[in-house]
Amino acid sequence: MIKFYLMFNPFSWERMDKPIKLGGRRTDRYQHMLEQLAAHAELADRAGFEGVFFSEQHGNIEGIPEVTANPVLLDLFVASRTERLKVGQLGMTLPVSNPLLVADQIAQLDQLTGGRALAGFSRGNTPRWADQYGQHIPMRATRSDKSEADERNLRALQECWQIIKLAWTQDVFSFDGEFWKFPVPGTKWPYPHTKTWGAGVDEDDNLLGVSIAPGPYQTPHPRVFAPMSGRSATVRFWAREGATIMCLTPREDLVKGMLEVYADEAHQAGRTPRRGEGIIAGGTLSIAADEATARKRADVMSEWDSLVYSVPPYNLPHPMAFNGTPAQIVDQIGRLHSELGVSEFILTDYFPAPHGSEVSLEMLQLFAEEVLPAFQGTES
C-alpha cells in the first residue's frame, strides 16, 4: 500500500505578504499556529495519512517564521488531538544533543502515544542555534563538505545513534566513546535499594551502567528516519542501520541513485529490501480544482521557498513540487511509484504562511479527498 506522510512546517506569519518582526516570540501568533496545527492534524488523521513530522529549529528570532523548537512536545500535542496518526521528528539534531536524553524523550513519547512514535535524526546545518547548543561537546553545524568539522559531526551522529539504540534495547548498558561515556567514570551511587531492586552498581557502589525508564512501547524501538544528506557516507550509514531516508530532491536520477546505494548497503548488512524501499520521496504541494489557481499557488510557494530557504546560509535548492489539479498530481505520484518503486511519499505542509490559514487547509483537504483515495489499496 502506498503511504503518505506530512512534514508540518508551522509558521508565526499568517501570510507571506504580512511579515511580522520577531513573530516567533509572540504568544498570540503561536497560539494561532497551534489552532491551525490541530486542524491540519485532525484532517490528516481522518483522511488516512500515515504520519506527520516536525523539524527541530530553536531560537527563531532571526527572521525565519518557523516555530518548531521542541518537536517531541509538538508530536505529543498532535497525538492528543488524533486517534491513529503517527508522530515523529525529521529530525532531532543528534550531534549537539545528549543521546541518552533523546532516547528517553522519544521512548516516553512512544509510551504516551501507545506506540505511535516515529524517530528521526539529523546532523544539523544551522550554526545560529546548533553551535550554541553543542558548545559543551564541542560540536558545530556542518555543510557536508568533508572538512574536519564535518567528519567530526558525522562521527558524533553515528556514536549518538549507537547509544540511543542501546538505551532502547538494553536494560542496562555502558558505553565508552569519543564524545560520550556512560556512566561518567568515577560515579558513585550508594543508594541501598539499587542492589536489591535495580541494577548497574557493584558492591562498592560504583556505577557500572545506565539506562532509561520506560523503554519504548514498540519492539525493539520506533521506526527510524533521516533527512537526505549531502554525504553519501551518511546515507550508507543509515541504510546499514535500516532507517528510511527522506528525499525531497526534484532530481529523479538522484533518487534512483540513492535507491541503488541503499539497496547495496542493505544487502551488505544482510537485508533484502524490496524495490523502492529505503526512500520516502516528496516535496511541496500546490493544488487547486483548476489549473490557473494551482499555478498561482505554485508561484507563491516557489517565491516563499526562495525567500526563506534559498538564501545564505541555507542555500537550499528548490524541492520536488507536486503542482496542479488533483488528477495531475495523481499522475505525478503514480509515475514516480511506477518508475522508481517508491511507495512512501511526504508532503511539506506549510501553514498559515505563505498562503494563509484558509488556503493552506483547503489544499490539504483537496488532496485528502481527491488524491489520497486514488492510492488507498494500491500495492507497493
pLDDT in tens, 20-29: 999 999 999 9
Q: What is the DSSP letter of 290?
A: S
d(CA 140, CA 149): 7
pLDDT for res 277: 96
What are 262's three cell numbers?
541503499
Beta carbons of 212 and 103 less than 8 angstroms apart: yes
d(CA 83, CA 233): 38
pLDDT for res 119: 98
**Does position 41 have pLDDT exceeding 60, yes or no?**
yes
pLDDT for res 17: 93
Name the band, by pLDDT with cuts 50, 70 and 90, for residue 143: confident
pLDDT for res 304: 95
Task: Kindly calculate the radius of gyration of the chain based on its CA atoms and give it in whole angstroms.
Answer: 21
d(CA 167, CA 175): 10
Query: What are the percentages of helix, strand and coil residues in the chain, rounded to 5?
Result: 45, 20, 40
Global pTM reads: 0.96
What are 204's three cell numbers?
562498592
pLDDT for res 378: 67
**Does position 380 have pLDDT exceeding 60, yes or no?**
no
User: Given the DSSP bridges, would you call strands 344-351 and 181-182 parallel, antiparallel or unpaired?
Assistant: unpaired
How distant, in Å, are the alpha carbons of 87, 168, 184, 308 from that of 30? 20, 33, 39, 19
Residues in the chain: 380
Beta carbons of 53 and 118 less than 8 angstroms apart: yes
How distant, in Å, are the alpha carbons of 7, 129, 275 from that of 91? 11, 15, 25
d(CA 262, CA 279): 8
**Does position 252 have pLDDT exceeding 90, yes or no?**
yes
Mean pLDDT of 257-262: 93
284 - beta bridge partners? 321, 348
Name the band, by pLDDT with cuts 50, 70 and 90, for residue 133: very high
Name the band, by pLDDT with cuts 50, 70 and 90, for residue 128: confident
Any idea which of 42-56, 60-74, 245-259 has the lowest mean pLDDT?
Answer: 60-74
Mean pLDDT of 264-289: 96
Beta carbons of 78 and 214 less than 8 angstroms apart: no
pLDDT for res 261: 93
Any idea which of 77-81, 161-165, 304-308 has the lowest mean pLDDT?
Answer: 304-308
Mean pLDDT of 246-262: 93
d(CA 43, CA 25): 27
Name the band, by pLDDT with cuts 50, 70 and 90, for residue 109: very high
Burial, 55: exposed, middle or buried (Cβ in 10 Å; 0-12, 13-18, 19+)? buried
Any idea which of 38-42, 209-213, 253-257, 354-358 has the lowest mean pLDDT?
Answer: 253-257
Name the band, by pLDDT with cuts 50, 70 and 90, for residue 175: very high
pLDDT for res 330: 98
Burial, 242: exposed, middle or buried (Cβ in 10 Å; 0-12, 13-18, 19+)? middle
Mean pLDDT taken over the chain? 94
pLDDT for res 144: 80
pLDDT for res 265: 95
Half-sphere exposure of 104 (CA within 13 A, CB side): 9
d(CA 326, CA 275): 26
Mean pLDDT of 166-179: 98
pLDDT for res 145: 83
Which residue has better confidence, 366 or 60?
A: 366
How distant, in Å, are the alpha carbons of 117, 121, 134 from that of 79? 9, 20, 29
- Cis-peptide, bond into residue 138, ω within 30° of zero: yes
